[in-house]
Chain A
Amino acid sequence: MNQKEGRSEQHSILPAVSVKNLKKTYLTHKRGEGLLQSLKSFVWREHLEIHALRGINFSIQAGEIIGFIGPNGAGKSTCLKILSGILHPTSGDVTVLGYVPWKSRISYVGHIGAVFGQKSQLWWDLPPIDSFRLMKSIYSIPDAQYEKNLREMVRLLEVPEVIHRPTRSLSLGERMKCEFINAMLHNPAVVFLDEPTIGLDVFAKETIREFILRWNRLRGTTFILTTHDLQDIETLAQRIIVIDHGRIVFDNSLSALKARLGGGKHVRIRCKRPIITPRSRAVTIKNLISREEKEFIVDTQRLGIGEFIKLIGRGNQILDMSIEEPPIQEIIKKVYKRA
């Protein structure tokens, strides 16, 4: 179909996703425990407003991979549900691929895909291939496109036999790979991933990350993912949006985040004799492994790494040294703390 060409044309003009002052307030009510309380709350309910999104703004260009991070309950899933047309927002403007997601749902959702790490779109008692074929008719995917996509994804995700075994007998990793295939056979231009790597082992995670990168590069597919796995962020996200209590507290690249928080380098040094710590306010001891081995944090904005090496080389006889970027957890922790 020429649908794909039409779409990529559109891409070059508009951002793939544009979100303006998006708010979502859930209306729920307090509920008590037990029969009496349930009956009471059935008749008379105390309303409770939960401000899941408090007016957020961002836009995403076609072909970007965006990582949404933030603590539990920050509003990430709510945001993805609105973007994918499942939920109506309380207020605000959203367009994705030129559509307002919650209006004209049926024509819109044909252009997007979604994988939820906690939910399965596959038929439990049947092999994934049966679910794929149903997707083929649900999305009216032409034969050639279906065969080509299936072949390619099965190869990249390394699941040639797996797709013929009943879903219920698959490991979590195998199943997630099949969830990806299921969600992407129809060439979605934008794919939403809500904690797609949750609970997976490192091998499955790596294969899936590799797959996302490949598909993004080859097809120009836009990916928007939420995750608590910072390795996902490091390998995938060209840009991260940190969301906390329904507000965006950061929106830029990971390196910008590191620079902003002045993330010092971690330097680990082993010496022949007990280490004499250089006197500088830019140097702090992170870890005392032994008297002969220490880990320092060097604030590189105040003291260049070359300067530091000179400084420490003066009084010590260095046997071994390693210099590392600060672990991403530490940076994220700082962001969350500031928010």
Chain B
Amino acid sequence: MTSAFIVHIEAVKRMIASRLAFRTDLLLSAATMAINESLVVIFTIIIYTASEGFPGWSLPAALLLQGTFILVHGIGGTGFMGVIWNTVRKVEAGELDLVLLQPRSTLQMLIATGFDTEDIGRALAGIATVTYATAQLGPFGAWAWIRYALLLLVGLAVLLSLGIICSGLAIRFVKTWRMYEVLDALYMLGEYPATLQQPTVRIVLSFAIPIITIAYLPASVLLQMTVPHIGWIIAATAVFTLLSYGFWHSSIKAYASAGG
């Protein structure tokens, strides 16, 4: 267990070092990401002040929701969502074989070597937004913060499960179904109706469901809205995470018996 943790840290250190080899690249991409996310927040503020606002939501409450989402997205993006592109890249290059040669959990190695420094900027923007919003809404007691943190973890677990599922899909599709070639062909079409390519559309599509768990639940604790059945939510998330791992495991099995 401890040695698995050490391996994880060692791999992450190398990912950071790899990015540090291009120092300006690291700083620039993280800063760009932070500015990007801040712009979204500023945009919310502008819309809010220029209009009637969102019914039922004060400005700080809306910012808290948004900040919480950005924070979860940032932490997940840094720590484990890189597993998706990392899997796609490794499967395409036939390098998944090399990961399978290591006497470690293959999924863990894919997560560790998918560490993404770029999203640190996003996490920082999230922290700043949440801090700003809670300063307006607060002060909050320790219990509220504990529950907020707990639900934040639930949000992260949901995001992690999504990442694991996508990684499993990449292993299955790229290798056995060749979905990629179909996707490539579709992307070519997609270049003409430009809307398909718009990031907002894609984000809405890919995060529509989990966004509720990810941001709404933790934020609602601080907004003194009642969160029903926290216990059940945690249990359901745990089941979802386990199922996603089961799916991933069956995918890597299929890979091994289908052939690299």
Check if A173 is an interface residue, CB within 8 A of chain B. Answer: no
**Can you name the residue of chain B whose Cβ is closest to the Cβ of A105?**
B100
Q: Are A31 and B181 in contact (CB under 8 A)?
A: yes
Check if A27 is an interface residue, CB within 8 A of chain B. Answer: yes
Check if A139 is an interface residue, CB within 8 A of chain B. Answer: yes
Tell me the B68-88 residues at the A interface (CB within 8 Å).
none
**Can you name the residue of chain B whose Cβ is closest to the Cβ of A52?**
B259
Tell me the B87-122 residues at the A interface (CB within 8 Å).
93-95, 97-98, 100-105
Q: Are B181 and A119 in contact (CB under 8 A)?
A: no
**Can you name the residue of chain B whose Cβ is closest to the Cβ of A186?**
B103
A325 to B12, CA, bound (A): 55
Q: Are A126 and B98 in contact (CB under 8 A)?
A: no
A140 to B5, CA, bound (A): 12
Give the distance to chain A from B15, nearest Cβ to Cβ, in Å.
9
Check if B189 is an interface residue, CB within 8 A of chain A. Answer: yes
Interface residue tally on B, bucketed by range: 35 or more
Given the interface pairs A119-B95, A125-B18, A140-B3, the reply to whether A109 lies near B182 with Cβ below 8 Å is no
Return chain B residues, CB-CB under 8 Å to A109: 100-103
Q: Are B7 and A114 in contact (CB under 8 A)?
A: no
From A79-87, A203-211, A274-282, the one touching the partner chain is: A79-87
The tally of residues in A whose CB lies under 8 Å from a CB in B reads: 44
A24 to B101, CA, bound (A): 20
From A34-42, A54-62, A241-249, A302-310, the one touching the partner chain is: A34-42
Check if B210 is an interface residue, CB within 8 A of chain A. Answer: no
Give the distance to chain B from A24, nearest Cβ to Cβ, in Å.
7
Interface flags for A104-145 (1: CB within 8 Å of B; 0: not) read 011111101010101101011110001101100111100000
Q: Are A137 and B101 in contact (CB under 8 A)?
A: no
Q: Are A126 and B185 in contact (CB under 8 A)?
A: no
Give the distance to chain B from A268, nearest Cβ to Cβ, in Å.
46
**Can you name the residue of chain A whose Cβ is closest to the Cβ of B180?**
A38
A130 to B13, CA, bound (A): 10
Q: Are B182 and A39 in contact (CB under 8 A)?
A: yes
Given the interface pairs A31-B178, A105-B100, the reply to whether A78 lies near B18 with Cβ below 8 Å is no
Given the interface pairs A87-B260, A126-B18, A138-B103, the reply to whether A121 lies near B98 with Cβ below 8 Å is yes
Check if A220 is an interface residue, CB within 8 A of chain B. Answer: no
**A interface secondary structure, majority:** mixed
Check if A223 is an interface residue, CB within 8 A of chain B. Answer: no
Q: Are B179 and A84 in contact (CB under 8 A)?
A: no
Tell me the B243-260 residues at the A interface (CB within 8 Å).
253, 256-260
Count of CB-CB pairs between chains A and B under 8 Å: 95
Q: Which of B22, B94, B95, B101 gathers the greatest number of chain A CB atoms within 10 Å?
A: B101
A134 to B98, CA, bound (A): 14
Check if A166 is an interface residue, CB within 8 A of chain B. Answer: yes
Q: Are B189 and A35 in contact (CB under 8 A)?
A: yes
Tell me the B173-193 residues at the A interface (CB within 8 Å).
177-179, 181-182, 185-186, 188-189
Give the distance to chain A from B219, nearest Cβ to Cβ, in Å.
39
A107 to B103, CA, bound (A): 6
A78 to B97, CA, bound (A): 12
Check if B11 is an interface residue, CB within 8 A of chain A. Answer: yes
Give the distance to chain B from A44, nearest Cβ to Cβ, in Å.
13
A88 to B260, CA, bound (A): 10
Check if B21 is an interface residue, CB within 8 A of chain A. Answer: yes
Interface flags for A46-82 (1: CB within 8 Å of B; 0: not) read 0000001000000000000000000000000010010
Check if B205 is an interface residue, CB within 8 A of chain A. Answer: no
The one of B6, B101, B186 that contacts A86, using a Cβ cutoff of 8 Å:
B101
Q: Are A35 and B11 in contact (CB under 8 A)?
A: no
Return chain B residues, CB-CB under 8 Å to A140: 3
Q: Knowing that A131-B14, A140-B3 touch, tell me 4 more A-B residue pairs with CB under 8 angstroms.
A: A87-B256, A110-B103, A116-B97, A138-B7
8 nearest CB pairs, A to B: A35-B185, A110-B103, A88-B257, A125-B18, A125-B21, A26-B259, A137-B10, A86-B97
Give 14 pairs: A residue, B residue, CB < 8 Å, sorted on A: A31-B178, A42-B179, A86-B101, A106-B103, A109-B101, A112-B101, A121-B98, A125-B18, A126-B14, A130-B14, A134-B7, A134-B11, A137-B3, A137-B10
Give chain A's interface residues, CB within 8 Å of chain B.
Answer: 24, 26-27, 31, 34-35, 38-39, 41-42, 52, 78, 81, 84-88, 102, 105-110, 112, 114, 116, 118-119, 121, 123-126, 130-131, 133-134, 137-140, 166
